[in-house]
Amino acid sequence: MKPYVIINAAMTVDGKIDTVERKGAGISSAEDRRRVLELRASVDAVLVGGHTLNSENPKLTVKDPLLAAQRLAAGLPENPAKVGIVTRAELDPDGDFIKAGPARRLIFTTPQTSAEQLAMLTAAGVEVLVHDGKRVDLGLALETLETLGIKRLMLEGGGTLIAEFIRLGFGNELQLYVAPKLFGGANAPTLVAGDGWSESEAKTLALVEVRVLDSAGGLLLCYLLQK
């Protein structure tokens, strides 16, 4: 069994999820940031890929005290679990992924992560699961999360991990904020990275919602991923 996976991302009209500078550019509007917090508050875990984790060290908490209180009143932890999938973890022990909470924190990694980093993560209370092989086994990671009670999971990028989830058929839903902006740049990260697919292998999506989310013209597009 695997969790129900909602892929969430913010993208420019030209399909970029960051600029060529790769510094984690702001793309969401205030309305979209609110939607993201509400979506986070509705899931058991939030998951990010290693490049996003190592370079941006995201908080991944629900932030709003009201949303946190509603979770507590429903018998849930204040924040969803925070999960990182990273070939070689290089996390700052004082960074937000580790410190922002309270939240259960899990890192799936490989033997490429140093013994010092593994010791630091464990000492900080992070649950570390090391998979043999060059990369984390995503199917196994999802099955492990399901056995830990994670039934509904939000994948918050980046493009490499999103591509793998789609390739393997592990994504159920895509919620996409499209900002009225252009970043350009052939090397700027796009929504779905990886090696790509041929025309005959292209993935098809079923549109379930289109909404104008803000006065600036940002759109919310929701799709079901077809297996």
The yes or no reply on residue 135 touching ligand NAP (CB under 6 A) is: yes
- 45-104 residues in contact with ligand NAP (CB under 6 A) are 49-52, 56, 85-87
Nearer to ligand NAP, 23 or 66 (CB): 23
Residues in a beta bridge with 219: 178, 212
Minimum CB distance to ligand NAP, residue 22 (Å)? 4
The yes or no reply on residue 27 touching ligand NAP (CB under 6 A) is: yes
Minimum CB distance to ligand NAP, residue 75 (Å)? 30
Residue from 4, 15, 20, 24 that binds ligand NAP (CB under 6 A)? Answer: 24
Structure tokens at 210: 């289109």
Task: Kindly state the number of chain residues that form the binding site for ligand NAP, as judged by CB under 6 A.
Answer: 27
The yes or no reply on residue 164 touching ligand NAP (CB under 6 A) is: yes
Minimum CB distance to ligand NAP, residue 72 (Å)? 27
Comparing every residue's Cβ against ligand NAP, the nearest one is 158
Residue from 159, 174, 175, 179 that binds ligand NAP (CB under 6 A)? Answer: 159
The yes or no reply on residue 33 touching ligand NAP (CB under 6 A) is: no
Where does this chain touch ligand NAP (CB under 6 A) — which range of 95-103, 131-139, 145-153, 200-208? Answer: 131-139
The yes or no reply on residue 161 touching ligand NAP (CB under 6 A) is: yes
Contact criterion met (CB below 8 Å) for 16 and 188: yes
Q: What is the 3-state secondary structure (H, E, C) of the chain?
A: CCCEEEEEEEEECCCECCCCCCCCCCCCCHHHHHHHHHHHHCCCEEEEEHHHHHHHCCCCCCCCHHHHHHHHHCCCCCCCEEEEECCCCCCCCCCHHHHCCCCCEEEEECCCCCHHHHHHHHHCCCEEEECCCCCCCHHHHHHHHHHCCCCEEEECCCHHHHHHHHHCCCCCEEEEEEECCCCCCCCCCECCCCCCCCHHHCCCEEEEEEEECCCCCCEEEEEEECC
Residues near ligand NAP, by CB under 6 A: 9-10, 17-18, 22, 24, 27, 49-52, 56, 85-87, 135-136, 138, 156-161, 164, 189, 193
